[in-house]
Chains A and B, each alone.
Chain A
Amino acid sequence: MSRDHELTVDFAACDGHGLCAELLPERIALDEWGYPVLRDSAVPGPLLAHARRAVAACPVLALRLRPARRGEGPRTG
């Protein structure tokens, strides 16, 4: 199961600290203004620990990880 968790960003909360992109470059890049761009919001098992670390590192709790809902593709934003 590669789609059991998905990442979302609360852009109203995000201040562009950029730690997430350091900790999870497999999924997160930064745009030219320093805000995260999700390459793919799905987090497969092997990346889960890294994703949790990135979520925990966000100073404003804008990065979130949640179980993917069944029958629904992961969403960005």
Chain B
Amino acid sequence: MTSETAMPITGQDMPVPYGVRLLSGWFATGGPTGLDEHLARFGAAPTGRAPATLADDVEAAGLTGRGGGAFPTGRKLRTVAAQRGPAVVVANGMESEPASRKDETLLALAPHLVLDGAVLAAAATGASTVHLCLPRTRSDQAALLGQAVADRNRVRLDEAGIRVHTLPHHFVSSEETSLVSWLNGGGARPRPTPPRPFEKGVGKRPTFIANVETLAHMALIARYGPDWFRELGGADAPGTTLVTLSGAVRNPGVYEMPMGTSARQALTVAGGPSSRLGAVLAGGFFGSWLPVPLDPAARPRGAGVLVALPEDACGLAETAAVLAYLGGQSAGQCGPCTFGVPSVAEDFAELAWGRPGAELLERLHRRLGLLPGRGACRHPDGAARLATSALQVFGDDVLRHLQYGPCPHAAEPLRLPVPADGPAAEEGWR
């Protein structure tokens, strides 16, 4: 992890109440929160009463998964706790979305909130082991978290044992079933469900898997209660969430904001657009394009990612590059994904940079219909969603490219942070 990406805020004009919860320590001191400071600010995690009250409190708080799934966390906790046999807790810090830095930032600045949430989940589900899964590409981060765990062990803070793991950083390796497969000795690739991890996961035990941000929210709900949690955000979507803002905004970074904050407001928090915008990518490579001017109701989606695309960029070229990346990131297990996503990517590349014939759009639409719901995971679904939204939002560009060939911006350097190669394909899945 570089300090450049870990620093969440570059702006000086940071409006209240942004960043008052998960990132409050950073606001108080401007640095990462060590164990002493964490205990002074929050006290120890109330694991003693977690078995009885945590699931109730989390459910009443209306906390939903912050990894993109938005599943009700309280219900997940309750389901795992109700299964037979000892459970296992997995903290998912894989953050494979290239446009997201929120998990990396949170783990750098408030590691003990995440670890508190994990040991609380362990207490609530009767688990004796917590597995923290981090990408192997962020080895500095793994070392820091290992140190944080050692600090806790030195003062015998936790009953549950916390183990830090580093996994291959493929796009699909952050899927819940990928983590389970890897922790069970296999490759970090998605597995078909059922069985769902909550019934049969790590070591065939019921397994509670949550994104690290979700766990950090749980750590605060356990201390301050559901009513406090609901003081920010909406009735349907309460609390705060971390959003990574990048692209053509004045102050790119990770910001904590109330749930339900519109994409337009979120851009303002990041200092506003730094040039005229052409579109906004909401939800990252797994999300969809939003047209500008932004609909006031449009919200950041998935795992809180917004990328502002300037007007003088080619949305079709950007999308084609992302699709090529996603095609290379297929785990190669399911035919429709292995062949379908690269085929769609090739069609898009022809649309963006080639001399597409009249039959291209028809073929592309047909292929896009062959992706959703036809894989062990949602990888093909995500690729199809992104491509479909690009065809809609950049509809005028599609017609121009079909008629005149590539636009002048198509050959320019990409604005989206598309990794040049898939993260070390030779690295494999173990």
CA distance A73 to B374 in the complex (A): 17
Measured CA separation A32–B368 after assembly (Å): 12
Q: Is A34 an interface residue (CB 8 A)?
A: yes
Residues of B332-346 at the interface with A, using a CB-CB cut-off of 8 Å, are 333-337, 339-340, 343
Cβ-closest chain B residue relative to A14: B335
Partner of A14 from the list B191, B334, B340 (CB cut-off 8 Å) is B334
Mark out the residues of chain A between 1 and 51 whose CB falls within 8 Å of any chain B CB in the assembled complex.
9-16, 31-35, 37
Interchain CB contact under 8 A, A33 and B335: yes
| Interface assignment of B360: CB less than 8 Å from any CB of chain A | no
Q: Is the CB of B335 within 8 A of A77?
A: no
User: What bracket does the count of chain B residues touching chain A fall in?
Assistant: 10 to 19
A76 to B370: give the CA distance in the assembly, Å. 12
Inter-subunit contact B374/A76 (CB<8 Å): yes
- Chain B residues contacting A77 (CB-CB under 8 Å) are 373-375
- The interface residues of chain A lying within 8 Å CB-to-CB of B190 are 12
**Also in contact, A13 and B192, with CB within 8 A (given A31-B370, A76-B374, A77-B374):** yes
Cβ–Cβ contact A12 & B339, under 8 A: no
Interface size on A, residues (CB 8 A): 17
Q: Is the CB of B335 within 8 A of A11?
A: yes
CB–CB A11/B340 < 8 A: no
Contacts of B375 in A (CB 8 A): 11-12, 77
Give residues 123-151 of B contacting A (CB, 8 Å): none
Binary flags per residue of A42-77, CB closer than 8 Å to B gives 1, else 0: 000000000000000000000000000000000111
- Flag whether B376 is at the interface (Cβ < 8 A): yes
Q: How far is the CB of A60 from chain B (nearest CB, A)?
A: 11
Q: Which residues of A contact B343 (CB under 8 A)?
A: 32-33
CB atoms of A35 and B374 under 8 A apart = yes
Contact status B336-A35, CB under 8 Å: yes
Residues of B within 8 A of A37 (CB): 370, 374
A35, B192: Cβ atoms closer than 8 Å: no
| B370 (CB) vs chain A CBs: closest residue | A31
- Other A-B contacts than A12-B376, A76-B373, A77-B375, 15 sampled, CB-CB below 8 A, are A10-B192, A11-B333, A11-B334, A12-B192, A12-B334, A13-B192, A14-B334, A14-B335, A15-B335, A32-B343, A32-B370, A33-B339, A33-B343, A35-B374, A37-B370
Identify the A interface with B (CB < 8 A). 9-16, 31-35, 37, 75-77
The 26 sampled A-B contact pairs (Cβ below 8 Å) are A9-B374, A10-B376, A11-B192, A11-B333, A11-B334, A11-B335, A11-B336, A11-B376, A12-B192, A12-B333, A12-B334, A12-B376, A13-B192, A14-B335, A15-B335, A31-B370, A32-B343, A33-B335, A33-B336, A33-B340, A35-B335, A35-B336, A35-B374, A37-B374, A75-B373, A76-B374
A-B CB proximity, top 3 nearest = A11-B334, A33-B339, A35-B335
